[in-house]
Amino acid sequence: MNVFIAVSAVFALIALLYLGKTVAHLRHRHLLRAGGSATACAATGAIGTAGILLFMSYLGYERLTDEQLVGVIEFSRSAQQEYTARLMIDGEVDRLLTLRGDEWQLDARVVTMTPPATMLGFEPVYQLERLSGRYASLDSERTEPRSVHGLAEERPLDLWSLARNFPKLLPGVDAYYGTATYLPMADGARFKVTLSRDALIARPVNDQAREAVGDWGQTPE
């Protein structure tokens, strides 16, 4: 990881050197040389900037070790097939999100690493992607209002998107792994969500949640 940062910093410094040369050539009216230096400055600057932005994107993801706690989600019913979900994640402000339907679904992005990325010190990371409501009935799923909330932070250069669209640019970075979990919603129900190297896992942690899971699969009112 330190090597990656160092290489990006070197390209940024080289870009600054070429910028200085460009200014010097322009002062002496060496337009051809100034054009060459400007081109080199733009190229090395783009590489250095991209590397720094990519590393910042990586830092925005959570490290994935063994099964670990992702967060807790609690529901309060506000209307028929409508709930307020309170998403609680350590180190973040709680989010209150409206979900419609009978069930909730949480999706996450998982980025795994293989050589040469692991040789640079990079570890598997994850990021919550979205929280959405689901209907138990397929007819309702097709016709009733949907509710989907994005959880991933928007960045100028995102590790997940770049690895999926241009895998050859990031050898050893695998972003083809997504995971999701879903369970029924109920008034007062609270669930704990964990993530292993294989999947998101949701578990009921109070009586309301356990009762909802126990009744899961029955036709909703």
- Condensed to tens digits (0 to 9), the pLDDT of residues 111-121 reads 777 666 655 66
Q: Tell me the C-alpha distance between 20 and 77, whole Å.
A: 63
Q: What DSSP state is assigned to residue 172?
A: T
Q: Residue 2 has what pLDDT?
A: 47
Strands in the chain per DSSP E: 62-63, 68-79, 82-88, 95-100, 103-113, 125-134, 148-150, 173-184, 190-195, 200-204
pLDDT score of 188 more than 70: yes
pTM of the model: 0.65
For position 211, what pLDDT does the model report? 92
CA count, 13 A, side-chain hemisphere, 54: 21
Quick one: pLDDT at residue 11?
55
Confidence of residue 178 (pLDDT cuts 50, 70, 90): confident
Q: What's the chain's average pLDDT?
A: 78
Stretch 184-210: mean pLDDT: 90
Find the largest Cα–Cα distance for the chain: 82
Mean pLDDT of 40-45: 68
Q: Is the pLDDT of residue 148 over 90?
A: yes
More confident residue, 152 or 122: 152
213: amino acid identity, one letter: V
Quickly tell me which residue has 């990519």 as its tokens.
54
Rounded CA-CA distance 68/45 in Å is 38
For residue 196, give the 3-state DSSP assignment. Answer: coil
pLDDT at 207: 94
Residue 69 predicted with pLDDT over 90:
no
Confidence of residue 3 (pLDDT cuts 50, 70, 90): very low
pLDDT surpasses 50 at 60:
yes
- Amino acid type, 103: E
- Could you tell me the pLDDT band of residue 58, with boundaries at 50, 70 and 90? low
pLDDT higher for 155 or 215? Answer: 155
